[in-house]
């Protein structure tokens, strides 16, 4: 899929290949749907530089501390000590890209972070440029004013 250009973004992270197929993402956007990604900075950069960059809203999630990040990785019980050490080493580089994002959250509490993400999505949906039909609505309102005169 990489060779065919069928991925919106892709990266190899810790020996694993990740990617997001382009067609279903673009179809969802064309249908007015939101698409959320949980991707590293490389994937984020690719998405922000994609053909549909005007539709991209980027959110970087920071840990409250490096010690807490390591504790969370260990508590998952999914990765070996070697993998966690590699993730911790890589996290410094990951975090260095925070300023490239539209929004930056500190994930001290998962419920609060979720609420903040929902607030961002709501605010972005309400932006004038993302409100199809708004211009027509304002024109109708202006017509109503003119008819009253």
- pLDDT, tens only, 78-125: 889 999 999 999 999 999 999 999 999 999 999 999 999 999 999 999
* Residue range(s) of every CATH 3.40.50.300 domain in the chain: 59-149
User: Does the structural domain 59-149 have CATH classification 3.30.70.930?
Assistant: no
Identify the pLDDT of residue 74: 93
Identify the pLDDT of residue 99: 96
Dist. CA 36–CA 125, nearest whole Å: 14
To the nearest 5 percent, what fractions of the chain are helix, strand and coil? 55, 15, 30
Dist. CA 9–CA 42, nearest whole Å: 8
11 pLDDT band, cuts 50/70/90, is confident
In this prediction the pTM is 0.84
The pLDDT of 67-82, averaged and rounded, is: 93
Going 91 to 93 to 95 to 100, the CA torsion angle's sign is negative
């Amino acid at each position: 899929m990489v060779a065919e250009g069928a991925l919106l973004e892709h990266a190899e992270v810790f020996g694993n290949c990740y990617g997001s197929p382009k067609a279903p993402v673009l179809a969802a956007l064309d249908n007015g749907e939101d698409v959320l990604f949980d991707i590293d900075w490389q994937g984020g950069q690719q998405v922000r530089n994609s053909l549909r960059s005007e539709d991209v809203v980027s959110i970087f999630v920071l840990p409250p501390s490096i010690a807490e990040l390591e504790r969370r990785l260990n508590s998952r019980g999914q990765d070996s000590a070697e993998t966690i050490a590699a993730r911790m080493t890589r996290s410094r580089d990951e975090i260095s890209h925070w300023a490239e994002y539209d929004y930056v959250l500190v994930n001290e509490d998962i419920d609060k972070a979720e609420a903040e993400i929902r607030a961002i999505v709501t605010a972005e949906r309400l932006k004038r440029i993302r409100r199809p039909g708004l211009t027509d609505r304002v024109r109708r309102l202006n017509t109503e004013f003119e008819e009253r005169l």
